[in-house]
Amino acid sequence: MSAADLSVLQRPNDRLRRRRVVNRGMELLAWLAAAIAVAILGVVVWSVAKRGASELNLDLLTKPRVPFALPGQPAGGLANAFVGTLVMVGLATLMALPVGILIAIYVNEFAPRAIRRGLGLVLDILNGVPAIVVGIFVFGLIVATHGQSGFAGGFALAVLMLPLVARSTIEVLLLVPGSLREASLGLGVARWRTTLGIVLPQAIGGIVTGAVLAVARVAGETAPLLFASSVGVSNSADWNPTHPLQSVPVAIFELSDTGVKSDVAQAWAGAFVLLMFILVTSLTARWLATRSRRKLQRAAR
Amino acid sequence: MSTYDATGNATRRPFSGRRVRAGDLILQGVAGAAALGAVVLVGLIVYKVVQGARLSFSTFGLGFLTTTGWDPVHQQFGAANFLFGTIVTSFGALLLATPLALGIALFLTELAPRWIRAPVTALVETLAAIPSVVMGLWGIIVLAPVLQDHVMPALHSALGFIPLFGPSTTGASIFTAIVVLTIMILPIISSVSRELFLGVPGELKEAALGLGATRWEMVRGVIFPYARGGVASAMILGLGRALGEAIAVFYVIGAFNGKISWNLFGPGNTIGAWLASEYSNSGSKLETSSLFYLGVILLVFSLLVNFLAQVIVRRVSRRQGLSVL
């Protein structure tokens, strides 16, 4: 009788121990998962830096490319790629930024609820279209009839940018306190002046960080540019968007595949510059975004 | 009543004068036109890609999806092996990424010391910012040799009786593509899951802990059921990203267009990777049209993925709305 009582008392203890062991094991796995993710980022950045940083010099940014450089001969740089990326990303920003902000204004300030939902879905769909399909689309729309050009490349990047800019702007506009809007409308200010003069300036910080994140994301896109602006590019810096322009990602893509040692080295150097640009801009923008969001939330309180 | 209306109108009129209303109309018109532009753009994308595929579609029909081989000499094109590679790599990546992402999300919401949470969150999300061309280059030069020399032989000798884990022939393989895609979709799934886990009401978690549940039991019994639907839609979004990835996969998959093989350690090909390698192709009209056909397949995938995620989110929000009542 007493022995039976003891076993009853003991069993939960055993089970509790097992539950604790399982708990510990799972906690450990979660720590491990986070450590793996951070380690992967570290390994990627470190191995790109190791191969690319040594090749880095001012010539890379300013000198034209010298194809088939013999060993000992100066290998030139990737000025064509950096200028091309600058031009095409600039064009894309000029196209996507105003349209994206206007879409956000329409969604937040004018659209009835049903339309707002529908537009959210449209932006999701646009965001989900794979980059390579955007490339094919631009190929069919522009390149098939007019040939490749910096304009086609900029347009392809704009298509990718548009949903990013619109989404982030919508989110920021939602954070602008309704009381501000009401105060302005209540004073008899017209809706358009309220929107442009009161709401947008409040949100400008968030809109800019959203745009910077979109630029960082789009600057690294290869797939759409392969179809829109990659063939027959000039080896020297070319600012004319009616020509097909080289870009940094496409240059990496092509140089890493030639098998020539100096080409591969330049590909790594390009990858290093691109990666650093994207990491620095997106981390800074993210930091600014949390700061401005906190400020807006404080203003709302 | 009528006098009230009359005075109301009378007092409103001076403020809604003509000039002011015109400004409203203009802004609404311009903004509405931009919104309409987005709708038209989606329509135009679908139309242009489908239009380009028409010749191939009328030549091969749906048989395109079930035949293997890309033969410009005999003008025979099929997508079966690309389709196979796309689906295997994407689902493989999803299988690896989901538990990892859930672990990261749990770490960031339940386990990590408070000061570490923001930086680790930022670092994990930075992983998503690495351009796919850099990911691919890293994948083939750095990752693939490690996988080929260490991971693949180990898995082959332990699990070789399963045909999936056959002998490894090259570093560029379906398995390498799976690992690269895993890294690329990990941040998407983990950041959405993290936000979902943060949304679990504290009372529920405390109630479970108060009843004597261990932390893991609380996670299994409270957090996972609460976030299940959201996690499912996050997984679908990750899947969508993996299905459409082109450049990174192109680097590491080995561009093998032969017979479909279940050996993950051998080379393969995907729709995206093949499109990325054929960009400068100046083949026949039929071949170009067949590339568009591949684009249509990817487009259908991305629409399906969006639709599924929407359905799940809607159903979950309805259920959670009820559970709050």
**Strand, helix or coil at A35?**
helix
Q: Cα separation of B75 and A14, whole Å?
A: 70
**B214 contacts chain A (CB < 8 A):** yes
Distances, alpha carbon B164 to alpha carbons A65, B92, B100, B161, in Å: 45, 11, 22, 9
**pLDDT value of position B320:** 62
Contact criterion met (CB < 8 Å) for A275 and B124: no
Give a three-class secondary structure readout of A222-255: CHHHHHHCCCCCCCCCCCCCCCCCCCHHHHHHHH
Facing B127 at nearest CB: one of A30, A37, A105: A37
Query: In Å, how far is B15's CA from the nearest CA of chain A?
Result: 6
Q: Tens digits of per-residue pLDDT, B61-70?
A: 999 999 998 9
**B29 contacts chain A (CB < 8 A):** no
Q: Chain-centre distance of CA B97, in angstroms?
A: 12
Name the burial class of residue B299, with classes exposed (0-12), middle (13-18) and buried (19+) by CB atoms within 10 angstroms of its CB.
buried
The 10 Å Cβ neighbour count of residue A75 is 23
Q: Tens digits of per-residue pLDDT, B117-131?
A: 999 999 998 999 999
Residues 194-213 of B with CB under 8 A from A: none
Task: Tell me the chain A residues in contact with residue B125 when contact means C-beta distances shorter than 8 Å.
Answer: 286
Tens digit of each residue's pLDDT, chain A (301 residues): 444 455 555 566 788 888 999 999 999 999 999 999 999 999 999 999 999 988 788 778 888 887 766 666 667 789 999 999 999 999 999 999 999 999 999 999 899 999 999 999 999 999 999 999 999 999 999 999 999 999 999 999 999 999 999 999 999 999 888 899 999 999 988 888 899 999 999 899 889 999 999 999 999 999 999 999 988 888 888 899 999 999 999 999 999 988 788 888 889 999 999 999 999 998 888 888 778 777 777 766 6
Domain spans in chain B, listed from the N-terminal domain onward: 2-61, 63-324
* Cα-based angle A283, A287, A292 (whole degrees, multiple of 5): 145
**B45 contacts chain A (CB < 8 A):** yes
Task: Tell me the chain A residues in contact with residue B279 when contact means C-beta distances shorter than 8 Å.
Answer: 135, 226-227, 230
**Percentages helix, strand, coil for chain B, rounded to the nearest 5?**
80, 0, 20
Q: Cα separation of B307 and B243, whole Å?
A: 15
Q: How many residues does chain B have?
A: 325
Contact criterion met (CB < 8 Å) for A44 and B134: yes
pLDDT for B262 beyond 80? yes
**B249 contacts chain A (CB < 8 A):** no
**B34 contacts chain A (CB < 8 A):** yes
Contact criterion met (CB < 8 Å) for A22 and B28: no
**pLDDT value of position A122:** 94
Contact criterion met (CB < 8 Å) for A23 and B279: no
Residues 6+ apart with CB under 8 A from B286: B55, B56, B59, B75, B77
CATH superfamily of B63-324: MetI-like (1.10.3720.10)
Facing A130 at nearest CB: one of B35, B292, B298: B298
Q: How many residues does chain A have?
A: 301
pLDDT for B254 beyond 60? yes
Q: Cα separation of A265 and B13, whole Å?
A: 71
Domain spans in chain A, listed from the N-terminal domain onward: 2-55, 62-300
Q: What band does B194 get if pLDDT is binned at 50, 70 and 90?
A: very high
A to B CB pairs, distance under 8 Å:
260
Q: Cα separation of B54 and A194, whole Å?
A: 49
Name the burial class of residue A182, with classes exposed (0-12), middle (13-18) and buried (19+) by CB atoms within 10 angstroms of its CB.
exposed
**pLDDT value of position A6:** 55
Contact criterion met (CB < 8 Å) for B124 and A37: yes
Query: In Å, how far is A14's CA from the nearest CA of chain B?
Result: 14
Facing A129 at nearest CB: one of B38, B45, B135: B45
ipTM of the complex: 0.90
CATH superfamily of A62-300: MetI-like (1.10.3720.10)
Query: In Å, how far is B173's CA from the nearest CA of chain A?
Result: 17
Contact criterion met (CB < 8 Å) for A279 and B129: yes
**B317 contacts chain A (CB < 8 A):** no
**B218 contacts chain A (CB < 8 A):** no
Q: Cα separation of A98 and A94, whole Å?
A: 7
**pLDDT value of position A205:** 87
Q: Cα separation of A223 and A249, whole Å?
A: 9
**pLDDT value of position B322:** 46
What is the amino acid identity at position B70? W
Query: In Å, how far is B88's CA from the nearest CA of chain A?
Result: 18
**pLDDT value of position A300:** 64
Q: Which residues of B49-75 are buried (b: 16+ CB within 10 A; e: fewer)?
A: bbebbebbbebbeeebeeebebeeeee
Choose between A94 and B73: higher pLDDT: A94
**Strand, helix or coil at B238?**
helix
Residues 6+ apart with CB under 8 A from A200: A101, A105, A207
DSSP string over A86-127: HHHHHHHHHHHHHHHHHHHHIIIII--HHHHHHHHHHHHHHH
The 10 Å Cβ neighbour count of residue B46 is 18
Among all residues of chain A, which has the CA nearest to that of B123? A38
Query: If you average pLDDT over each of A155-164, A192-201, B1-10, B193-202, which comes out highest?
Result: A155-164
For the entire predicted model, the pTM comes to 0.91
